[in-house]
């Protein structure tokens, strides 16, 4: 089976500053990689994270609620999950 490549710029009309593909990583690794990237970003910048772990949907929602970052979008595309987050 051919792996799906997601081009965030084509899927969403957003100015994404950082893109992370954590496909095939399981929790907590996608969240840890996101947290590290966010720590190096400026307020208002946008990060997209692609995951394959369906638990990441609730994990990223909870993470954003607790940290104050803005979860702009979550969506399942084929066998992947896309999280779009704006840094507080």
Q: What is the pLDDT of residues 7-64, one digit of tens each?
A: 655 556 678 999 999 999 998 999 999 999 999 999 999 999 999 998 999 999 999 9
Instruction: Measure the CA dihedral 68/73/76/78, to 10°.
Output: -130
pLDDT of residue 20: 95
Q: Show which residues are catalytic.
A: 27
Instruction: Give the dihedral sign, CA 33/24/62/41.
Output: positive
The number of C-alpha atoms within 13 Å of 83 and in the hemisphere containing its C-beta is: 31
Q: Where are the beta strands (DSSP E) in 1-88?
A: 18-21, 46-51, 70-77, 80-86
All domains of the chain in start order, with CATH: 12-86 (3.30.110.40)
Query: For the whole model, what pTM was predicted?
Result: 0.86
């Amino acid at each position: 089976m051919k792996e799906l490549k997601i081009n965030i710029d084509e899927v969403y009309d957003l100015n994404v500053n950082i893109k992370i593909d954590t496909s095939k990583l399981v929790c907590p690794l996608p969240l840890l990689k996101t947290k590290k990237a966010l720590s190096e970003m400026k307020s208002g910048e946008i990060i997209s994270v692609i995951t394959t772990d369906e638990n990441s949907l609730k994990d990223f929602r909870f993470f954003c609620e607790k940290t104050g970052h803005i979860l702009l979008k979550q969506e399942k595309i084929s066998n992947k999950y896309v999280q779009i987050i704006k840094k507080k």
